[in-house]
Amino acid sequence: MFKLGVDTMIWVEEFTTQSLPIINKAKELGFEVIDININHPERFPAKEVKARLKEVGIEAVTTIGLNKDSNLISPDPAVRKNGEKTMKRMVDINMEIGSKICAGVIYAQWGYISGRPRTEAEWNYSVTSMRNICEYAKKQSD
């Protein structure tokens, strides 16, 4: 079944508690799904969003664009570890608000262009991190 949805980025760059009325607006406009862009998972108001989604009766999915400090193809292990931490927080948020989809630029930094094809090392960094994140997600859903 096809569902029509809207992305919160048409209203706000960062979804905060002040953005909660957007959930109502999406439903009023006839959308069945709202795609909540989460720029800062560490300060995303998951409890409030969960309550508002239930109150309004609309389905949610989430998106994120990883940044330079969470780039899963960075040669810096600390940056990759932070990316995994960020994505694991996204798993937690999705579980809490009832979202079954977490999408976006989740394999590398949003807008990262090196001017050359991806290296085998970068590919392996991303694959390893995504496997770790998926293992975490599986444990959370069991």
Contact 36, 63 (CB under 8 A): yes
Stated pTM of the model = 0.92
CA–CA gap between residue 124 and residue 48 (Å, rounded): 37
Mean pLDDT of the chain: 95
Beta bridge partners, 92, equal: none
Locate tokens 């001017």: which residue?
115
Please calculate the CA angle 91-93-136 and round it to the nearest 5 degrees.
Answer: 20
Domain definitions of the chain by residue range? 5-141
User: What six digits make up the tokens of 19?
Assistant: 């953005």
Please calculate the CA angle 110-122-69 and round it to the nearest 5 degrees.
Answer: 40
Angle in degrees, 0-180, between the axes of helices 46-56 and 21-28, rounded to the nearest 10? 30
Residue 43 has what pLDDT?
94
Q: Is the pLDDT of residue 112 over 80?
A: no
- pLDDT bin (cut points 50, 70, 90) of residue 117 is confident
CATH 3.90.380.10 applies to domain 5-141: no
Q: Is the pLDDT of residue 12 over 90?
A: yes
Instruction: Specify the length of the chain in residues.
Output: 142
What's the chain's Rg over C-alpha atoms? 16
Locate tokens 């079944």: which residue?
1
Residue 141 has what pLDDT?
86
